[in-house]
């Protein structure tokens, strides 16, 4: 399989002969408001053209409707008949944007040989969760391919640990920029990402959602240094650059 980090949470997967786009966020640099009064967002440009990103895409997965996961530019550029999986209760807003093949992922679904299973996430802990709203992660499986756990916009909390222990995925994809909202952590930081690595002896962890938004507190270098301090190798924890393509087999390598 091939995994390309586009920017932020946006991934393009070539998986089991299908091409999947996750959380499309296509806004030009500095075209959207700041989250933390440091800079307009996103803080970097897309690494490749939108046409290149969309080339071959057959399925879209939208984890939630925050603007850095499904923005107006993406809504305008995506073909309206592309199949989209989303979390329950988001399908109405996506259909209202003109999309005609929207399926809420309430539990498990199969599409063209791919099996998707919805997984719980918590966009922070405590009162900030009400502000952030509901989010989802998912696991992705197909015959002959590495199993993937895409954790999404979540902190490390027991349901995430339970998925790792219960499904033993080959690849775990984390959001690891340590974003904070009014001081509260709303996605994983370096310590939590390193803990995911330690809890998943056989999996490769791919850290994404980094160096794209102004409320991030952890850089790629910060994360690498934290991992090295705990003896986590660069083959165990992959931290791709925007635009980088990882080619991974069933061992996650």
Mean pLDDT of 190-198: 98
In this structure, what token pair is assigned to residue 19?
A: 């091409």
Residues 111-140, mean pLDDT to the nearest whole number: 97
Backbone angles phi, psi at 173, to 5 degrees: -110, 120
For the cut 90, the answer to whether the pLDDT of residue 31 exceeds it is yes
pLDDT recorded at residue 249? 79
To which residue do tokens 């939208």 refer?
62
Q: Which two tokens stand for residue 186?
A: 């709303």
For 200-228, write each residue's pLDDT tens digit. 988 999 999 999 999 999 999 999 999 99
- pLDDT mean over 6-28: 98
Q: For the whole prediction, is pTM greater than 0.85?
A: yes
Only one residue has tokens 């999986």, namely 85
Mean of all residue pLDDT scores within the chain:
97
In this prediction, residue 53 carries a pLDDT of: 98
Q: Kindly report, residue by residue over 145-186, the tens digit of the pLDDT.
A: 999 999 999 999 999 999 999 999 999 999 999 999 999 999
| 58: confidence class by pLDDT, cuts 50, 70, 90 | very high
pLDDT tens digits along 222-248: 999 999 999 999 999 999 999 999 999
Query: What pLDDT sits at residue 195?
Result: 98
pLDDT of residue 133: 97
Beta-carbon contacts of residue 46 (< 8 Å; ≥ 6 apart): 6, 7, 26, 28, 53, 242
* 250 pLDDT higher than 80: no
C-alpha distances out from residue 176 to 18, 93, 135, 191, 233, Å: 27, 28, 16, 9, 17
How many angstroms separate the CA atoms of 191 and 226, rounded?
A: 7
Give yes or no for a contact between 180 and 218, defined as CB atoms under 8 angstroms apart: no
Residues 6+ apart with CB under 8 A from 76: none
CA proximity to 77, closest of 91, 98, 61: 98
pLDDT in tens, 65-119: 999 999 999 999 999 999 999 999 999 999 999 999 999 999 999 999 999 999 9
- One-character DSSP codes across 188-230: --HHHHHHHHHH-TTPEEEEES-SSSTT----HHHHHHHHHHT
The 10 Å CB-count burial string (b at 16+, else e) for 174-209 is bbbbbbbbeebbbbbbbebbbebbeebeebbbbbbb
Identify which of 151, 233, 221 has the alpha carbon closest to the alpha carbon of residue 192: 151
How high is the pLDDT of residue 136?
A: 98
Helix-, strand-, coil-residue percentages of the chain, each rounded to 5: 20, 30, 50
Tell me: pLDDT of 26 over 90.
yes
Whether 253 shows a pLDDT value over 60: the answer reads no
pLDDT bracket for residue 251 (50, 70, 90)? low
């Amino acid at each position: 399989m091939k995994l390309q980090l586009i920017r932020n949470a946006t991934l393009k997967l070539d998986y089991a002969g299908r091409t999947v786009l996750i959380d499309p966020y296509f806004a030009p640099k500095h075209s959207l408001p700041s989250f933390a009064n440091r800079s307009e967002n996103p803080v970097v440009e897309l690494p490749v053209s939108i046409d290149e990103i969309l080339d071959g895409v057959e399925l879209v997965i939208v984890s939630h409707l925050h603007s850095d996961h499904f923005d107006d530019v993406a809504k305008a550029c995506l073909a309206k008949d592309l199949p989209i999986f989303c979390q329950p209760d988001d399908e109405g807003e996506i259909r209202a944007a003109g999309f005609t093949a929207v399926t809420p992922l309430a539990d498990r679904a199969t599409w063209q040989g791919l099996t998707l299973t919805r997984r719980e996430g918590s966009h922070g802990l405590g009162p900030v969760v009400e502000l952030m709203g509901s989010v989802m992660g998912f696991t992705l499986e197909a015959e002959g391919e590495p199993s993937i756990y895409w954790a999404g916009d979540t902190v490390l909390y027991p349901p995430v640990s339970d998925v790792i222990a219960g499904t033993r995925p080959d690849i775990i994809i984390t959001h690891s920029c340590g974003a904070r909202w009014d001081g509260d952590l709303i996605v994983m930081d370096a310590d939590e990402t390193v803990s995911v690595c330690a809890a998943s002896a056989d999996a490769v962890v791919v850290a994404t959602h980094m160096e794209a938004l102004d409320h991030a507190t952890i850089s790629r270098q910060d994360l690498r240094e934290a991992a090295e301090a705990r003896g986590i190798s660069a083959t165990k924890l992959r931290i791709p650059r925007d635009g980088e393509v990882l080619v991974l087999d069933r061992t996650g390598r």
